Amino acid sequence: MRVVVATEARFHRGVDDAVLARTPGEAYPHWCGYLGVFDEVVVLARVGAASPDPAVTATFPVEGDGVRVVALPPYQGPGGYLRTARSLRSVIAKGLDSGGQLAPQVVDTRYLAVMPGMVGAALVTEVRARGLPYALEIIGDAEAVAGGMFGRWARRPARRWLARHAAGARAVGYVTRETLQRRYPPAAGALTAAYAYGRLNAEDFTAARPRAVRPPVPATLVTIGSQDRRYKGHDILLAAVGMLDAWGHRLRVVIVGTGRHHAALVRAARREGLTDVVEFVPALDRAGVRAVLDAADLFVLPSRTEGLARVLIEAMARGVPAIATAVGGTVELLAPQDLVPSEDPERLAIRIAEVLASPDTLAAMSARNRAAAENYRGDRLATRASAFYAAIAGWDPPARGGPATPSGSPSGLPPGLPPVRTPQPTRGRS
C-alpha cells in the first residue's frame, strides 16, 4: 500500500540529481515515519535547482528505500504560486488519472495533505473531484501564516479555508493536543489523533543541567530555524539583541539555519552593529544541533507563527532554558512566564535580560523544560502516529465517486490498536 503526502517543503537537486532538503527535519528519516504501515511513501513537493550560495543550501537526502519524490514547480511566495498554479495542478491531476503514478488504480493508495499549504490544498482539490477520501496532518495555523504573507485581511479567509478542508477529511492528525483542534475542528465521526512531529530519541535527551551560581557572561543565546520565510522571527531577535547590546549586556548569539532570507538577516545584523555578536551557522545534522544547544545559556524562539516547534522540544530535551512567543502550540510547551507577545522585540529583550540576570530562574526553567520534554519521546509519538496511519490504511476502497468507510473495527482503527481520538479541549496544549 502507498501513501501520497503533499507537503510545503521545498527541495533542491544535488549535483548527481539527488533530491535534497535544506533541513534534517525534512529529510529521509522524517518520511520513514510513514513506512511500516505503508510500503511506499510518495512525497509531492516543490523541487528546484541547487543554489550556488552554500549558505542557503544543505545536503540532507530525501529519497531512499520506500520513499520517492514527485517534483512540482519550484515556485516561491504567493505571486509564484499564482503564476504556477495551473501547472502544479496539472502535474497532480495527471498523476491521479488512470494509469498515473499517483492513481489508486495502480496500487492501493491513500492521500494525506500536510496543512496549511497550497500543495496540500491542490492535492485535496483534485482528490475530492474524483470522490476519493483524504486525510490531513495539520501542523500550523493557516490564519497566522496567511496574515504574515498577505496581511490582516487574509487571516479570516485562510482560517475558513483550512476549516473547510478539515471538515471534509476522513481523518485529521494534529501536532498539538488542543490548540489547532479548537481552531480547525474535524467533522463529526472523523478519526483524529494528536502526535507531535518532534520525534526525540534517547540520544536527544540529556541529564539535568548543573545549577549555575552566577549569571553567564557573556551569555550564549541560540535560535534555530529555516530562513526561507520570515515566520521564525529572526529579524525580531536581531532587533531585541540590538537593544540588549545598547543596554550593555554582553552576549553571544548563534543563529542556525539557511534559506532565501539569509543575506537580508546578515545585513540586518550589520546594521545593528552586531557583527561581532551574532554568528550565523548553516543547517546542522542532529548531532550538530545537540552540540549547539548544549553550549546555549538560553534558547530563543521569536516566531510569528508555529504549529508545534520541534526545535523548541529538542532544546527542552537538553534542559535548555527557553523564551518563545505565545503563538500556536508553543503555549502548550512553555510556562506562561516564559512566553512573550509576537512582533515585540522590546518585550523580548526585557525578558531575556530578566532571566539571564537570575541563575535561579534559569535553573527552574531548565528543570521545567527537561521534565516537559518527556512527553515527546519518539516511541510514544510513533505509536500514536502509526495507529493513525494504520487506521487510514484500513479504509475500504471507495466506489468511484463515493465516500470511503473505515474497516477493521467499529472505531475505524485496525483490530488491536488503541483508540487515538483527540482529547476534548480543556485549557490549551499538544
* pLDDT in the model for residue 362: 97
- In angstroms, the CA 415 to CA 391 distance is 9
Q: How much of the chain, in percent, has pLDDT values that exceed 90? A: 65
- In angstroms, the CA 326 to CA 330 distance is 6
Residue 424 has pLDDT above 50, yes or no: no
Write down the pTM of the prediction: 0.82
CATH T-level fold of 204-374:
Rossmann fold (3.40.50)
| DSSP letter assigned to residue 50 | P
Q: Among 96-100, 109-113, 176-180, 349-353, which is the least confidently predicted range?
A: 96-100
* pLDDT in the model for residue 151: 72
Structure-block grid coordinates of residue 48: 528546484
Q: Among 256-265, 292-301, 413-422, which is the least confidently predicted range?
A: 413-422
The tens digit of pLDDT for each residue in 60-86 reads: 899 999 999 999 999 887 788 888 988
Q: How much of the chain, in percent, has pLDDT values that exceed 70? A: 89
* pLDDT in the model for residue 327: 93
> Could you tell me the residue ranges of all domains in the chain?
2-200+378-393, 204-374
- In angstroms, the CA 197 to CA 381 distance is 8
The tens digit of pLDDT for each residue in 303-346 reads: 999 999 999 999 999 999 999 999 999 999 999 999 999 999 99
- In angstroms, the CA 1 to CA 140 distance is 28
How far apart, in Å, do the first and last CA atoms of the chain sit?
A: 30
Q: Which CATH class is domain 2-200+378-393?
A: alpha beta
Q: Do domains 2-200+378-393 and 204-374 have the same CATH topology?
A: yes
Helix (H) or strand (E) holding 252: strand 251-256
Dmax (CA) for the chain in angstroms is: 69
